[in-house]
Structure 1
Amino acid sequence: MNGIVLRDIHQPPAPSLWPPAPGWWLVAIALLGVAAWWWWRRRQRERKRLAMASLFDRTLEAATTSADQVAAMSELLRRAARRVEASADRLQGDAWLEFLDRPTTSGKRKRAIHDKPFAQGAGRLLLDGGYRREVEPEQVDALRVLARQRFLQWMGAA
């Protein structure tokens, strides 16, 4: 036993952190793909919201009188209502206002059950405002806020 010198066991060096293993590259690519898809969807939703809001605003700007603005809001709401229910545009009177007050499932903010801005508030102007000779601008402005919000909700842009 004179000539043999025993040495301790040597561990190999730890693997380096760079370059990462192929699995980590796949995870990074998947995360980048999800982030790009999320950004693209958000951008599309924002573009749609802006386009629907612009359509609503341009349509009302084209109306010359307050009564024409009320009629234009009614027409836009009836067109948008078809997206919710196929026969909704044929509703008349209080049934139409009740339909407008119906809570939406896609809304981020829920209204209280007793809150009926169309049937009991400024929205009642939709029933006969388009046929009046003169409509107060304050009433039209209050209706415009309600109608624009409901229009954007129904068009999927809110």
Structure 2
Amino acid sequence: MSAASSLPLRDVHLPPSPPWWPPAPGWWLVLAALLGVVALLWWWRARRRRREQRWMRLFDDGVAQAATPVDEVAAIAALLRRAARTHQPGAELLQGEAWLEFLDEPGSRAFSDGDGRLLLDGGYRPKVDAEAATRLRVLARRRFLGLMAGRRR
């Protein structure tokens, strides 16, 4: 028996585990990147919301200047044509049914078969029903925002 084998062995003691705070530098980078993405998303949504509010104000102000329902329909038609031009150059030149089909949203024929048909001749009639003009305003405002935001269908 050798002298080394007769020595008593001691237990292995593990060092204490690292504390959870402060985190390692890599976690700080992950946190900073995550905060940057959240800030960027917040900024992007706020910018988009402000832009849509400007468009709504533009639409509402343009329609508010109309004195009669006939003038209101004419103003709505002009605003939709401007929005169509910014969305797709040449779309403002469409006439009749092609124009109404361009304005229709998927799954809806609100312009072709519904209140939107007032756009075809409402600006040229001697009188237009005020309720029909109001329904057209609601429909056209939503489509105006969609066109200005670049959503075709």
Structure 2 letter corresponding to 1:83: T
Measured after TM superposition, the shift of residue 7 of structure 1 is 2.5
3-state DSSP of counterpart to 1:155 = helix
- The equivalent residue for 1:122 is 115
What is the rounded CA distance, in whole Å, between the counterparts of 1:118 and 1:9 in structure 2? 82
Measured after TM superposition, the shift of residue 10 of structure 1 is 1.6
- The equivalent residue for 2:51 is 48
- CA shift digits 1:78-110 (9 cap, x unpaired): 011113321110111122112111x3xxxxxxx
1:60-99 superposed matches below 5 A: 60-99=63-102
Measured after TM superposition, the shift of residue 54 of structure 1 is 1.2
**RMSD between aligned alpha carbons?**
1.9
What percentage of residue pairs aligned between the two structures are identical?
A: 54
- CA shift digits 1:105-143 (9 cap, x unpaired): xxxxxx42xx31111111111111111221110110111
Structure 1 unaligned segments of length 5 or more: list them. Answer: 104-110
Measured after TM superposition, the shift of residue 32 of structure 1 is 0.3
Measured after TM superposition, the shift of residue 27 of structure 1 is 0.3
3-state DSSP of counterpart to 1:51 = helix
Q: Name which of 127, 148, 156 aligns with 2:141.
A: 148
Bigger CA radius of gyration: 2
How many residue pairs get aligned? The number is: 147
Measured after TM superposition, the shift of residue 157 of structure 1 is 8.1
3-state DSSP of counterpart to 1:117 = coil
- The equivalent residue for 1:131 is 124
> After TM superposition, which residue ranges in structure 1, 4 or more long, deviate above 2 angstroms?
4-7
Taking structure 2 as the reference length, what is the TM-score of the superposition?
0.88
- CA shift digits 1:28-85 (9 cap, x unpaired): 0000001101111111111111111111111111111111111110011001111332
Taking structure 1 as the reference length, what is the TM-score of the superposition?
0.85
- The structure with higher relative contact order (CA 8 Å, sep 6+) is 1
